[in-house]
Amino acid sequence: MIKVSPKVKNVMEWIFCIIVAVILALLFRHFIGTPTIVQMPSMKTTLMPNDRLILNRWVATVNGKIDREDIITFEAPTGNGTIDNPIARYDYNPTKFWEKFNYYFLENGKTSYIKRVIGIAGDHIEIKDNKVYRNGELLNEEYLQDGIVTAPNGGVFTDVVVPDGCIFVMGDNRPQSADSRNFGCIPLDRVESRVLFRFWPLNKFGKVK
């Protein structure tokens, strides 16, 4: 029987505690919630670059409901859909366990976008005359900055019925946002989180609308 000195035992206990803490932190980050920093101006002025947010992961990991006007994060598409199939393309689909763990759980090498949900499955989204219509009704988008209009922005998905299991998303800063107008609708299984609240800057602390 190998006798372990109290000093070595103490070190091993600390290592074990650190490993457990890291695992719990990763599980919380993946399944419950995580902080993030806004990088790009596509949601300006609702969200500004360097705003600090808390994301609700529960909506993705426990099949929570996504509603219109929710602000969400999702995996960035690798390509555009087509007129016949207006769903954004995702060409990278790892198959090996470590590749899946590294990409989906640790999120190494993964790019995410943050946008607002404009349409859910079955909604008819139409962009015309620099305005957005949903199911034939003009949207009153109070969250847009004064003077912002919704042009096609180089995209072709401006008259779309959102397919089952998908959502149509756009940034609030329409002229500087690559979104569903460009790449098509986002599958729900690519949604990562919903924005819960902003904690920085302090003068904007609270729920984001």
Dist CA 49 CA 41 (whole Å): 6
42 is a catalytic site residue:
yes
Helix (H, G, I), strand (E, B) or coil at 45: coil
Dist CA 101 CA 94 (whole Å): 9
Burial class for 79, CB neighbours closer than 10 Å (0-12, 13-18, 19+): exposed
Of 65, 110, 115, 209, which one is the catalytic site residue? 115
Helix (H, G, I), strand (E, B) or coil at 200: strand
Helix (H, G, I), strand (E, B) or coil at 14: helix
Of 42, 177, 180, 193, which one is the catalytic site residue? 42
Using CA atoms, how far residue 104 sits from 30, 93, 98, 100, in Å, is 9, 10, 10, 6
Using CA atoms, how far residue 1 sits from 11, 24, 174, in Å, is 20, 33, 70
180 is a catalytic site residue:
no
Q: Give catalytic residues, as residue numbers.
A: 42, 115
